[in-house]
């Protein structure tokens, strides 16, 4: 499975957006970020520091200033990564930076303006253009998924019910790494289709959030593209390579203010900070290289990006900056973050013939459907042969696969037509036969009619099979066939030239950076001094230079220390607030929840090592759940509802008021002789008129005695689990009431049946 085991570092590029109109008007100071595009350096000026303080310089793989074009960034820094994905590597591009610095602009851009299209739409173009220009022996399957992580919950943006559904779970597979369980993935056959998928996801994101800007700065969005490619290898077998591309637009990196917030807001801020600080910790641990433990498990984001950071993937990080002086601190933090990420080493390798390749399943299914179709064709031929006595034309079996596909449908249609004609002819012959008895004629005609119906059914089945086969096959993209490449030769040349230039720029920058580093090293060696005076001068100059460097590093150390102190204070504050809340919850538990209830809850808690958190066990144990849920409770004829265990206990307990579900109190009417007039009595009788009531003894007395449905003999034991009422489907409630008194106790097999009369 592994090829090319060499490791390579995460590519880090920095982009600075132009000053916004508001920023321009608010301060005359201008931007604080300067860029040296040739060397790939960012120079940051501290607006609060005296001019004598040295500026901070950072070097990256590439830098893009305010005038940079979307296309430049794509061609220079992203294109090689997408090419690797198409060759079967895993690839990740993530945009990191403060809110409003251009993460979404870089990743998505303005779709309608070709100049402003971001990394994602350009990647779509790139993938499908590559497929259309590749050789025709290659088959591709492209899938897309879209998810967001908000408050440590994974939401599927392509699932229409995602807003009501619970967050998705992460799972780990030894072969493919961490993946999201049950995530929707859409097979896309063209740029248009994949753009549609993106739009659907973006809309779902906007609908789920009340304020899109606010929401997008607090949630991480991941667009995943899987490209599977099958190509015949030298061994003659088809080999599949799977490239996975993660396009990540992270939440704003600014710290969520936690001071003064409580409860849900505090937890929300803590969770948002959590995933980004977890990402920072992972980057630090990897960049450091010495700490053995990398805290991937601290957040969902870091688990999902596990392969992209220090694993099997090629990764590009785009750090975005704003040039405004008021964001100096955040800009510096972003630059430090990006600088650290440069040191991460990944081990990308081609994913060859993985077990879970969907393309393989598709190919198998297509082969199966084709075999079924061919069998049908063969069967119809055979029938034809039997009917007409023709000999089977063996030569025709030698048709090639492709031709066969097209022929199958045509021949099936032809066969049906011929058969129909033949049956019609036979029917006519039967009708015209004067010597046949009418009954016999009818029977034969009926038989032919049945044959006709069967034939049509068969045809329908074949049509369905063909449709399914075609639908499956259309999902696979064949190199240079399915997608028509609209670009002409001139445009293609232009594209290639542009790519070459991008490649050259990249190489030049690399060489420049190397030269700079070497210069500093070799300067010392090359120096020869003619006089002592010259040597003193040179050494003094060098000393000054080194002193400046020392000052820079000291300032850096101080900055880092300050930052650490600040984040520690913040963490302590969060801890204090969370401890306070925890104590409050404990107080409620100790004082308001009965100990037995607490124990029940505690007993249901289990630790899920997969998720790294405590979870509740379901109330019904998982294995017996299905059987218990399916079993219908034993109904008791005449009762208003099926008998539960509770009710059975109630019956066994007798008329204990605790178990009474209705008529909790017996409100016996006074047994005083009625002193109503005849008129009233007859009216009353009319109201309660019912044939079965006529000879009810209670009615006679004008008193209706209240019975509880759970009135039972005292002698009954609680183990009489299959107590049921004798059949008494009497229509009226009063009659049913009387029937309540007639119990039949059906004990378990082997014992005798008793009948008890309660009244
Ligand atoms: P984020 O996603 O980081 O919060 P956005 O991408 O929404 O930030 O960018 C904020 C604003 O800045 C948008 O109006 C966007 O058009 C503008 N912007 C960002 N980067 C650039 C750039 N490189 N060139 C021009 N405008 C930009
Ligand atoms: Mg954004």
Q: How confident is the model at residue 515 (pLDDT cuts 50, 70, 90)?
A: confident
Judged against a pLDDT cut of 50, whether residue 584 lies above it is answered with: yes
For ligand 1, which residues put their CB under 6 angstroms from it? 17-18, 97, 99-105, 217, 252, 320
Q: What residues have CB less than 8 Å from 633, skipping those under 6 apart? A: 642, 643, 644
Ligand 1: residue whose CA is nearest its atom 5: 102
Judged against a pLDDT cut of 50, whether residue 691 lies above it is answered with: no
Ligand 1: residue whose CA is nearest its atom 23: 17
Mean per-residue pLDDT over the chain, rounded: 76
Q: How far is CA 663 from the centre of its chain?
A: 53
Q: Which ligand is nearest to the CA of 97?
A: 1
* pLDDT, average across residues 231-256: 86
Helix, strand or coil, per DSSP, at residue 174:
coil
Ligand 1: residue whose CA is nearest its atom 1: 100
Q: Which atom of ligand 1 is nearest to the CA of 105?
A: 6
Number of H-type helices and E-type strands within the chain: 21, 22
The pLDDT assigned to 5 comes to 53
pTM (global) more than 0.85 = no
Pocket test residue of 15, 102, 120 for ligand 1, highest count of atoms within 8 A of CB: 102
* Residue 755, φ and ψ in degrees, nearest 5: -120, 130
Q: Tens digit of pLDDT for each residue in 79-121?
A: 999 999 999 999 999 999 998 899 999 999 988 888 999 999 9
Q: Tens digit of pLDDT for each residue in 410-451?
A: 666 777 778 788 888 888 888 777 777 778 878 888 888 888
What is d(CA 733, CA 217) in angstroms, rounded to the nearest whole number?
A: 64
Judged against a pLDDT cut of 70, whether residue 208 lies above it is answered with: no
Judged against a pLDDT cut of 50, whether residue 738 lies above it is answered with: no
Pocket test residue of 14, 15, 17, 209 for ligand 1, highest count of atoms within 8 A of CB: 17
Ligand 1: residue whose CA is nearest its atom 10: 100
Q: How confident is the model at residue 468 (pLDDT cuts 50, 70, 90)?
A: confident
Span of 280-284, 364-368, 381-385, 582-586 with lowest mean pLDDT: 381-385
Ligand 1: residue whose CA is nearest its atom 16: 105
Q: Which residue has the higher pLDDT, 258 or 375?
A: 375
Helix, strand or coil, per DSSP, at residue 209:
coil
Contact in structure between 606 and 617 (CB atoms under 8 Å): yes
The pLDDT assigned to 620 comes to 65
Q: Count CA within 13 A, CB hemisphere, residue 191.
A: 18
Ligand 1: residue whose CA is nearest its atom 18: 102
* Residue 536, φ and ψ in degrees, nearest 5: -60, -45
Cα 99 to averaged position of ligand 1 atoms, centre (Å): 9
The pLDDT assigned to 678 comes to 57
Q: Which ligand is nearest to the CA of 254?
A: 1
The pLDDT assigned to 225 comes to 95
> 405-409 long-range contacts, Cβ below 8 Å, gap at least 24?
405/370, 408/373, 408/374, 408/377, 408/466, 409/466
The pLDDT assigned to 640 comes to 66
Contact in structure between 614 and 605 (CB atoms under 8 Å): yes
What is d(CA 282, CA 294) in angstroms, rounded to the nearest whole number?
A: 6
Q: Which residue has the higher pLDDT, 159 or 697?
A: 159
Cα 216 to averaged position of ligand 1 atoms, centre (Å): 13
Q: What residues have CB less than 8 Å from 242, skipping those under 6 apart? A: 88, 226, 227, 228, 229, 351, 354, 357, 359
SS3 content of the chain, % helix, strand, coil (to 5): 50, 15, 35
Helix, strand or coil, per DSSP, at residue 275:
helix
Q: Which residue has the higher pLDDT, 516 or 116?
A: 116
Q: What residues have CB less than 8 Å from 179, skipping those under 6 apart? A: 170, 171, 172, 173
Cα 216 to averaged position of ligand 2 atoms, centre (Å): 5
Span of 121-130, 364-373, 613-622, 656-665 with lowest mean pLDDT: 656-665
Q: Which residue has the higher pLDDT, 697 or 366?
A: 366
* pLDDT, average across residues 528-536: 77
The pLDDT assigned to 727 comes to 35
């Amino acid at each position: 499975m592994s090829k090319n085991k060499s490791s390579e570092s995460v590519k880090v590029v920095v982009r600075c957006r132009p000053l916004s109109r508001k920023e321009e008007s608010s301060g005359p100071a201008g931007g604080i970020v300067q860029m040296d595009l040739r060397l790939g350096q960012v120079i940051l000026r501290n607006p609060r520091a005296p001019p004598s303080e040295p500026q901070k310089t950072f070097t990256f793989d590439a830098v893009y200033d305010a005038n940079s074009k979307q296309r430049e960034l794509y061609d220079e820094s992203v294109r090689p990564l997408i090419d690797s994905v198409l060759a079967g590597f895993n690839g990740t591009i993530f945009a990191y930076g403060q809110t409003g610095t251009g993460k979404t602009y870089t990743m998505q851009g303005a779709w309608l303006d070709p100049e402003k299209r971001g990394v994602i739409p350009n990647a779509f173009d790139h993938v499908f253009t590559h497929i259309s220009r590749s050789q025709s022996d290659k088959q591709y399957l492209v899938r897309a998924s879209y998810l967001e992580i908000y408050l440590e919950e994974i939401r599927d943006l392509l699932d229409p019910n995602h807003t009501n559904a619970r967050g998705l779970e992460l799972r780990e597979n030894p072969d493919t790494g961490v993946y999201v369980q049950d995530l929707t993935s859409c097979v896309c056959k063209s740029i248009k289709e994949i753009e549609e998928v993106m739009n659907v996801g973006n809309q779902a994101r906007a609908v789920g959030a009340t304020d899109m800007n606010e929401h997008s700065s607090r949630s991480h969005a991941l667009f995943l593209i899987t490209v599977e490619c099958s190509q015949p290898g030298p061994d003659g077998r088809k080999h599949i390579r799977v490239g996975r591309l993660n396009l990540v637009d992270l939440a704003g990196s600014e710290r969520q203010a936690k001071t003064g917030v409580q409860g849900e807001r505090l937890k929300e801020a803590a969770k948002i900070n959590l995933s980004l600080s977890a990402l920072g910790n992972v980057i630090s641990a990897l960049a450091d290289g010495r700490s053995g433990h990398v805290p991937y498990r601290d957040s969902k984001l870091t688990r999902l990006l596990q392969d992209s950071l220090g694993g099997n993937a090629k990764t590009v990080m785009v750090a975005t900056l704003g040039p405004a002086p008021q964001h100096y601190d955040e800009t510096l933090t972003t630059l430090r973050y990006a600088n650290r990420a440069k040191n991460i080493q990944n081990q990308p390798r081609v994913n060859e013939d993985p077990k879970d390749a969907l393309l393989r399943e598709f190919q198998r299914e297509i082969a199966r459907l084709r075999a079924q179709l061919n069998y049908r064709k063969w069967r119809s031929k055979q029938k034809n042969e039997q009917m007409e006595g023709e000999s089977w034309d063996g030569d025709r079996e030698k048709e090639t696969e492709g031709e066969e596909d097209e022929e199958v449908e045509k021949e099936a249609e032809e066969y049906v037509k011929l058969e129909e004609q033949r049956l019609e002819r036979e029917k006519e012959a039967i009708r015209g036969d004067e010597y046949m008895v009418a009954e016999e004629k009818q029977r034969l005609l009926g038989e032919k009619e049945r044959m006709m119906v069967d034939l049509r059914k068969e045809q329908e089945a074949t049509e369905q099979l063909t449709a399914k086969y075609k639908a499956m096959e259309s999902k696979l993209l064949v190199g240079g066939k399915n997608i028509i490449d609209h670009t002409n030769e001139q445009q293609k040349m232009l594209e290639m030239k542009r790519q070459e230039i991008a490649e050259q720029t990249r190489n030049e920058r690399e060489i420049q950076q190397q030269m700079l580093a070497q210069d500093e090293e070799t300067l010392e060696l090359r120096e020869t001094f003619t006089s002592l005076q010259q040597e003193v001068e040179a050494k003094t100059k060098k000393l000054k230079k080194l002193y400046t460097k020392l000052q820079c590093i000291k300032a850096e150390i101080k900055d880092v220390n300050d930052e650490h102190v600040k984040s520690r204070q913040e963490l302590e504050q969060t801890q204090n607030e969370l401890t306070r809340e925890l104590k409050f919850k404990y107080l409620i538990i100790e004082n308001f929840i009965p100990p037995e209830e607490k124990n029940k809850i505690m007993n249901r808690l289990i630790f899920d090592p997969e998720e790294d958190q405590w979870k509740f066990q379901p109330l019904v144990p998982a294995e017996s759940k299905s059987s218990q849920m399916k079993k219908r409770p034993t109904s008791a004829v005449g009762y208003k509802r099926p008998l539960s265990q509770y009710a059975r206990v109630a019956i066994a307990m007798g008329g204990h008021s605790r178990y009474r579900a209705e008529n909790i109190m017996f409100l016996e009417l006074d047994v005083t002789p009625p002193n109503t007039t005849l008129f009233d009595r007859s009216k009353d009788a009319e109201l309660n008129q019912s044939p079965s009531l006529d000879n009810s003894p209670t009615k006679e007395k004008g008193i209706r005695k209240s019975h509880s449905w759970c009135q039972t003999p005292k002698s009954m034991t609680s183990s009489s689990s299959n107590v049921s009422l004798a059949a008494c489907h009497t229509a009226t409630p009063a009659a049913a009431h009387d029937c309540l008194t007639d119990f039949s106790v059906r004990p378990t097999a082997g014992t005798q049946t008793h009948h008890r009369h309660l009244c």
